[in-house]
Chain A
């Protein structure tokens, strides 16, 4: 049997997590290719609709990567993201979807290794959880 390969959409803030992903690449750190990145200015750019839409379109997991609290390039964007993610998680639960399919991680520009670790762990976790039921239900 072919192993289940989760689909993951990643929203990475330009100033921190996207730079961390660049650093991971430059350092040739290897991680699973499941995450497909969208570079956004800030974690606070991410409209909750994007998260739900990604899950509905068939993503098994969605990841937002931003700067550590206090370090957001736009002062408080990441705190806004944190609040929104919290709310979306409760919505996911009420839809019968595991809230762990949504991951918010603080990864600064210098944390290439952390980027590698977080992406690897998230992919592993989604593999164990199996495919998301949401896309099938809705489609």
Chain B
């Protein structure tokens, strides 16, 4: 700042969170002694309304031109205090946070003296920085009023319908051949026992018929560029070898395909052809060819690679021959890249179940009659392969007893999943009930650690199931599951009686842990949003900003964030849609002005900065021989300034001068 600094320092007690360790009075007194500081004070909760008033009043009264708030992480209240400053007439970019809670008082709880000294150092460094903070005004950028939704499960469907109904365009991208997601696999939903087909398929149809929704199934996000309000997205429409516009969904082709591939929709319990439809309710109702399995497609690929000679007649063209609509072409891939422009993105990529092979002690992947819960859903579903009366995979017999195992891999750090998957207690109760309805003389055992039924009507549901169901609930963990003849043996413990338990059963259902889908890491990298240690998408703040990511304009819905039931997923999806609509209700969006800038008097146009820029935001003006920053493209990372030999390129409010002054302060007075 060119004017004489008049800085105010506001030290927050945060109740005892800071003041219980750090001597906040001393921090404020030390701050007061600093050159340029004209006011300092402490307050018990600076972020409260009266606390913010303290700041606002001081700004006006002492004509402050810079403010340092010593409190919690800037991720929590930087915005709060910048807004407070703006209300008092001070440019918000004159406010900086000194984080003395997360990074001082909390990690040094037992060393009050050292923590206090560290807090003083951090505050002093921040004062030095603020002295040279300048006034900036946010840029206004136009917003493309269309949204990209990634994932067509119930979360993506709900969000798509909400945004589309409000009158905006939606691009709904789904990797599999149909929308519907995991919900479509289910037999019935707890606790209402709705048939998911009955409640979800109407929504799927709404999606496909909605004039504002562009449905892109069998597609994946290839790349994402741009920023809040203005994203450019490339979408890969995967090779399906079927013209979706021509396909009538008649299923003639499915009947003639000679290939047998595992049917994903039945969790591999049944087979499908290389050309297949995801299921009878698929939306859109079209067939796709699975490249991996199709004989002709693979032959053509080998021809292209020069490995075999082309033949006059196709190796297999049964599906092509029966297709009256002339929708199939196996000779050429129809993969293509589509580009769309959107203003916001909702990620609704859902979950997967832990691979059973990770549970060898439970016979996972080895013993055919040990299946996961989604497979059992298929066996219970009236639309499933056994028409709702479960038959076991090994020999097709109706199981006379079933053992349900909770927390298979969940709440088990050894399997890398320390968390609770949140829905298993509920669906196991439901599955046991439905099994008893289908096989009244069957026996159902349920091993559990503790029953978690915390939702509306959930506890009542579990109680009802247990009372009327004649089920055996065993509190304890299962240690081993193995095959013995045509039976499966389960070893476990009943911790209530303190007894070891051994059960010979016909079928075992594992409630395997919900885990993030394997592709999520790559997608998160494309979107530049972080994931947690497991791979769930990180929200901006777990309590207060659960629908947002740290990247402005990108939101999360459903189990992509963490395991959730359908109720929570749908609520969150509508919430994310509302966030998008809030954005779209504004004529222009504000974009942070804290970006790079060039001192044109020093710049010699050497171009080193241009090479560093990952956004193509810098160009060289050949005539004037200087660098020029495109502020709309610049993200403010500062990589350019770090290499500028003359110091002409700088990051606003974090210039070399500012950082060096901070370094000087931080290295003294230990």
Residues of A within 8 Å of B642, CB to CB, are 44-48, 80, 84
Does B103 lie within 8 Å of A22, measured CB to CB? yes
A102 within 8 A of B: no
Q: Which residues of B contact A105 (CB under 8 A)?
A: none
User: Across the interface, which residues of A come within 8 angstroms of B104, CB to CB?
Assistant: 33
Determine how close the nearest CB of chain A comes to the CB of B418; give it in whole angstroms: 12
Nearest CB of A to B306, in Å: 35
Name B95-113 residues within 8 Å CB distance of A: 99, 101-111
Q: Across the interface, which residues of B come within 8 angstroms of A22, CB to CB? A: 73, 75, 99, 102-103
Q: Which residues of B lie under 8 Å from residue A16 when comparing CB positions?
A: 530
- In whole angstroms, how far apart are the Cα atoms of A70 and B528 in the complex? 10
**Interface hit among B61-69, B171-179, B357-365, B633-641:** B633-641
Distance A51 CA – B521 CA, assembled complex (angstroms): 32
Q: How far is the CA of A46 from the CA of B636 in the complex (A)?
A: 13
Interface range on chain A: under 10, 10 to 19, 20 to 34, or 35 or more?
35 or more
Instruction: Say whether A15 faces chain B, with CB atoms less than 8 Å apart.
Output: yes
Near B by CB (< 8 A), chain A positions 30-63 give 30-31, 33-34, 36-42, 44-50, 53-54, 57-59
Interface-facing stretch out of B261-269, B438-446, B558-566, B661-669 = B661-669
Q: In whole angstroms, how far apart are the Cα atoms of A67 and B538 in the complex?
A: 14
A contact set with B: CB distance below 8 Å: 5, 7, 9, 15-16, 19, 21-26, 28-31, 33-34, 36-42, 44-50, 53-54, 57-59, 67, 70-71, 73-77, 80, 84, 108-111, 116
Residues of A contacting B103 with CB < 8 Å?
A: 21-22, 25, 37
B542-600, CB < 8 A from A: 550-551
Q: Which of A7, A21, A77 contacts B639 (CB 8 A)?
A: A77
- In the complex, what's the smallest C-beta–C-beta distance from A17 to chain B, in angstroms? 11
Q: Provide 9 A-B residue pairs closer than 8 Å at the C-beta atoms, listed in order of the A residue.
A: A15-B530, A30-B108, A30-B109, A33-B108, A36-B125, A38-B125, A76-B614, A77-B639, A108-B530
B-to-A contact residues, CB < 8 Å: 73-75, 99, 101-111, 114-115, 118, 121-122, 125, 525, 528, 530-533, 538, 550-551, 612, 614-615, 635-639, 641-643, 651, 654, 656, 659-660, 662-664, 666-668, 670
Partner of A33, one of B118, B641, B664: B118
Collect the chain A residues with CB atoms within 8 Å of residue B531's CB. Answer: 110
Total contacts A-B at CB 8 Å: 147
A47, B614: Cβ atoms under 8 Å? Answer: no
Sorted nearest first, the 4 A-B pairs with minimum C-beta distance are A25-B102, A45-B638, A74-B637, A25-B106
Is B107 a contact of A28 with CB atoms below 8 Å?
yes
How far does the alpha carbon of A50 sit from the alpha carbon of B664 in the complex, in Å?
10
Q: For residue B102, which residue of chain A has the nearest CB?
A: A25
With contact pairs A47-B659, A75-B614 given, residues A42 and B107 touching in the complex (Cβ less than 8 Å): no
By a CB distance below 8 angstroms, the chain B residues around A45 are 637-639, 641-642, 651, 654
Residue in contact with A41 in the complex, picked from B528, B538, B615, B654, CB distance below 8 Å = B654
Are A30 and B107 in contact (CB-based, < 8 A)?
yes
For B639, the closest partner residue in chain A by CB is A44
Is B74 within 8 A of A37, CB to CB?
no
Q: Which residues of B contact A49 (CB under 8 A)?
A: 656, 660
Interfacial chain B residues near A110, Cβ < 8 Å: 530-533, 538
Complex Cα spacing A28 to B101, Å: 10
Residues of A within 8 A of B73 (CB): 22, 25
Q: Say how far B554's CB is from chain A's closest CB, in angstroms.
A: 12
In the docked arrangement, what's the CA distance between A67 and B641, Å? 19
Residue B670 contacts which of A5, A77, A111 (CB distance < 8 angstroms)? A5
- Complex interface: chain B residues within 8 A of A29 (CB): 107
Given the complex, which residues of B lie within 8 Å of A23, measured CB to CB? 102
Q: How far is the CA of A9 from the CA of B659 in the complex (A)?
A: 11
Q: Is the CB of B99 within 8 A of A109?
A: no
* Whole-angstrom CA separation of A81 from B353 in the bound complex: 38
Q: Which A residues are CB-close (under 8 A) to B115?
A: 33
Query: Are the C-beta atoms of A28 and B659 separated by less than 8 Å?
Result: no
Q: A15-B550, A33-B108 are in contact. List 10 more A-B contacts (CB 8 A).
A: A9-B667, A29-B107, A30-B108, A36-B122, A58-B667, A59-B667, A74-B637, A77-B639, A80-B642, A110-B538
Most chain B CB inside 10 Å of its own CB: which residue of A21, A44, A50, A53: A44
Set B101, B639, B666: member contacting A38, Cβ < 8 A: B666
Known: A19-B75, A33-B111. A40 touches B612 (CB 8 A): no
Complex CA–CA separation, A29 to B636 (angstroms): 31
The docked-state distance in angstroms from the alpha carbon of A65 to that of B538 is 19
Q: How far is the CA of A32 from the CA of B494 in the complex (A)?
A: 45
**What B residues does A15 contact at CB under 8 A?**
530, 550
Nearest Cβ on chain A to B620's Cβ, whole angstroms: 20
A42 close to B664 (CB less than 8 A): no
Chain A residues positioned under 8 Å from B641 (CB to CB): 45, 47
| CB < 8 Å neighbour of A109 from B538, B615, B635, B662 | B538
Q: Is the CB of B530 within 8 A of A71?
A: yes
Shortest CB-to-CB span from A11 to chain B, Å, is 9
A70 to B530, CA, bound (A): 11
Q: Report whether A70 and B525 are in contact in the complex, using a CB–CB cutoff of 8 Å.
A: yes
Instruction: Kindly state the separation between the CA atoms of A51 and B112 in the bound complex, as whole angstroms.
Output: 29
Cβ of A75 to closest chain B Cβ, rounded Å = 4
Smallest Cβ distance from B610 to chain A, in angstroms?
14
Contact A7 B122 (CB under 8 A): no
In the complex, what distance in Å separates the CA atom of A49 from the CA atom of B533? 33
Q: Which residues of B contact A46 (CB under 8 A)?
A: 642
